[in-house]
């Protein structure tokens, strides 16, 4: 599955306490993601800023594992690229309240602890083995 995406911040204020959402526009339809800014502020700041700067426009879903997850966020399309808004990896933001407990959970992809950049994935179902290993920041 190779999908190109662009994202659109639906314009809600992070500081206003309102729900913040982003819509990913793909070749096969839109995906609306609610982001959890109160529990994962740094991750959401990064993700929303990348969306606002059109960083994700044209990215493909470079990894798709049936029944597990689909991954994107690498402008090179290889799965080895991508960067945060700070130009370096940033720390995990785990929460006991944010789990991989349903279909559609959005988490940062990483290469180990505190190596978040721009890549993220969306689960196809419950994936409890990912809890406290990948920062959940949306659904």
**Percent share of the chain, pLDDT over 90:** 74
What are the extents of the domains in the chain? 4-138
CA 85 to each of CA 37, 41, 70, 95: distance values in angstroms, whole numbers, following the listed order? 16, 13, 22, 22
The edge-to-edge listing of strands for the beta sheet with 120-123 is 59-60, 4-9, 20-26, 29-35, 136-138, 106-108, 120-123, 69-72, 63-65
For residue 45, pLDDT beyond 90:
yes
Q: Which stretch of 4-8, 34-38, 46-50 has the lowest confidence by average pLDDT?
A: 4-8
Taking only the tens place, the pLDDT of each residue in 113-131 is 999 999 999 999 999 999 9
Q: What is the CATH T-level fold of the domain 4-138, as seen in this structure?
A: Cyclophilin (2.40.100)
pLDDT at 14: 44
For residue 7, pLDDT beyond 70:
no
Distance of alpha carbon 43 from alpha carbon 93, whole angstroms:
7
Single pTM value for the model = 0.89
Contact (Cβ atoms closer than 8 angstroms) between residue 59 and residue 2: no
């Amino acid at each position: 599955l190779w999908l190109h995406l662009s994202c659109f911040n639906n314009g809600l204020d992070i500081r206003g306490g309102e729900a913040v959402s982003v819509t990913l526009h793909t070749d096969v339809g839109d995906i609306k993601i609610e982001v959890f800014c109160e529990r994962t502020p740094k991750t959401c700041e990064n993700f929303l800023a990348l969306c606002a700067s059109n960083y994700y426009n044209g990215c493909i879903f470079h990894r798709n594992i049936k029944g597990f997850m689909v991954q994107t966020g690498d402008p090179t399309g290889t799965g080895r690229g991508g960067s945060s808004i700070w130009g370096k990896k940033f720390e995990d933001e785990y929460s006991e309240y944010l789990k991989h407990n349903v279909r559609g959970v959005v988490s940062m992809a990483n290469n180990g602890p505190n190596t978040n950049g721009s890549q993220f994935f969306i689960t196809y179902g419950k994936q409890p083995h990912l809890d406290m290993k990948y920062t959940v920041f949306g659904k």
